[in-house]
Structure 1
Amino acid sequence: MDTGGIVTGLRELLGAQLVAYLGRVSNTRSVREWADGSRVPGADVVQRLRTSFYVAGILSERERATIVQAWFQGMNPELGDKSPAALLRGEPLVVVGPIVVAAARSFIAHG
């Protein structure tokens, strides 16, 4: 899937504000521009958005969008009481990506 499709899907599931946060921008205009292809985020941001999209997909198979949004924003004991969104935004993706994916799978399996 291309970046525009990923951003559009994330925006539908998580809302533009949370996508902007994950994409390390301060406004939703950038998110709209990414979705329509008039602007391209940097490679690091694209990878963070791809990982976020993958995690959101895992969660949305069993949960509605409001639960997926809450999961991304809430403190998670499997993640050292940090939110998945904060980790995906601020930490090295190679480190936190697999950990966040595992936490999402655990949530689906155990609630």
Structure 2
Amino acid sequence: MLIKKKRRLFYGGLIGWLMLIVMILVCSEVPVKAQEPLEKQLAEAKAAIADQIKIIGQLKDNFFKVTAELSKEIENLKAKNAEQAKTIKQITDNYFKVTGELKKEIESLEAANSDL
């Protein structure tokens, strides 16, 4: 009976150790397998970040290019506006000059007509 107990303890302990070893092997294999998808996700994330950095750089360059073009266009429009303002002033001055001359001529004709 004592021998049977010793055998049971021995085999029970042996089975326990074997199960422990198997569990250690399985558990150590799981993180290695789980690490591969994480490394793949990390590589994909790094690639996505690199693409986003490239796109942000392009957007920044485009922003400054468009801003420069718009500033140039604004300057051109300001120059045209100043030119048109000058032309309008000349036309207005000419209008008042001509209407003044015509008014004087009408008054002189009316005066000559009233003498008759």
What's the TM-score once normalised by structure 1's chain length?
0.20
Instruction: Indicate the structure whose relative CO is greater, using CA pairs within 8 Å and at least 6 residues apart.
Output: 1
Point out the structure with the larger helix share.
Answer: 2
What's the TM-score once normalised by structure 2's chain length?
0.19
